[in-house]
Amino acid sequence: MTTGNNKLSGEKSRRTFDPVKRAEDVAAVVCKGDLRKYYRFRPARFYGGIATSDCVGCCLQCIFCWSWNQVVRPEYFGQYYSPRDVAGRLLNIARKKRYRQMRISGNEPTIGRDHLIRVLELMPKDTLFILETNGILIGYDKTYAEDLEGFHNLYVRVSIKGCTNEQFSMLTGADSQGFDLQIQAVENLYRAGVRVHPAVMVSFSSPEDIHALQSRLGEIDKGFKDVEIEELVLYGEV
């Protein structure tokens, strides 16, 4: 996963990797204490209008990723910001645009747990914070979900990559067991009492595979059968 000069590899290699171990390696590059790297702050039209901060660093390498360069070369992008800096910038955007919603997007926001928890603590209780995540770290460690339970203005959207273990590995480059961690994240959050809903990238899946995944998610809660459908959008260099 690393090159000889200790830089994170930017090659689109299909050799699989452990996504949890990769998260640790990426965190060593993009986190310093409770500081986290971000490469931009912006208003966005999604969810009817939302203040957005784009972080640097992810534990997957999705072949359709619209921020590929930041994913595979995190050492070259962004600056370190404190939780207070991030919260302040999001609130400034929200006030100017009259938004009531905020999020961290771009790469994987759950890398840097202390940083994320502190950002959430700084969010006004009358706003909605949408956490968009691949779920790997929350699925790996259920205490992460438990740490998120106390934030009643939090909504978690777990973006599941494909509908089977094999599709997950093909799309992300990660070990196929990572697919099960994504499903486990939905369950961990649900059991912890966190508002959560699954979204699924289905552009590479058959109707049969989609139905099978819906059934599996429905075993956690029947409402999860109604998954949010994600389809490939050719942003930028995708």
What residues pair up with 16 in beta bridges, in sequence order? Answer: none
Give, in order, the Cα–Cα distances in Å from 9 to each of 4, 26, 72, 166, 178.
Answer: 10, 11, 6, 23, 20
Q: How confident is the model at residue 121, as a pLDDT?
A: 98
What proportion of the chain, given as a percentage, has pLDDT over 90? Answer: 83
pLDDT value of residue 15: 84
What pLDDT shows up at residue 105? Answer: 93
Q: Are 133 and 157 in contact (CB under 8 A)?
A: yes
Average pLDDT, the chain: 91
At residue 198, φ and ψ (nearest 5 deg) are -85, 140
Q: What is the mean pLDDT of residues 61-73?
A: 90
pTM for this one?
0.90
Domains contained in the chain, CATH given = 19-222 (3.20.20.70)
φ, ψ (nearest 5 deg) of residue 124? -60, 145
d(CA 71, CA 60): 8
Distance CA 121, CA 87 (A): 9
